[in-house]
Structure 1
Amino acid sequence: MTVTLSVAVITGVITGVLVWTKRVGAGTALVVWLSGLTAASTGLAGPVNGFLAAVVTAVSNH
């Protein structure tokens, strides 16, 4: 029997464990989670990439 997991699920679990063990804060967990959605190329990858590009542009222009 083959069991498959998506990268988004694996990243979500890893992020949950990191937050649960207090290894990372909420901001870092958000970045890890968004990166996981982008890496997994889920349906949210496009909007997440657009959001991250807007944040980078805003920070670099500030």
Structure 2
Amino acid sequence: MAVSISAVVLLGIVVFVLIRLGYVRVGPALACAGFGFFLASTGAAPAISDAISTVTGWISSI
């Protein structure tokens, strides 16, 4: 059985766990989220999306 999960959900869970365990504070986590939000509206967004799709394709073929 294959399980499909959105990258946003997976990364959100990782950030939540890191905040709960004390490895990352809320302020830096929000700063990184804001950076990602604004990065998504730049010209680099398609290249980043393609790179992530390629990596996930490699992982799913394993």
Of structures 1 and 2, the one scoring higher in RCO (CA 8 A, sep 6+) is: 1
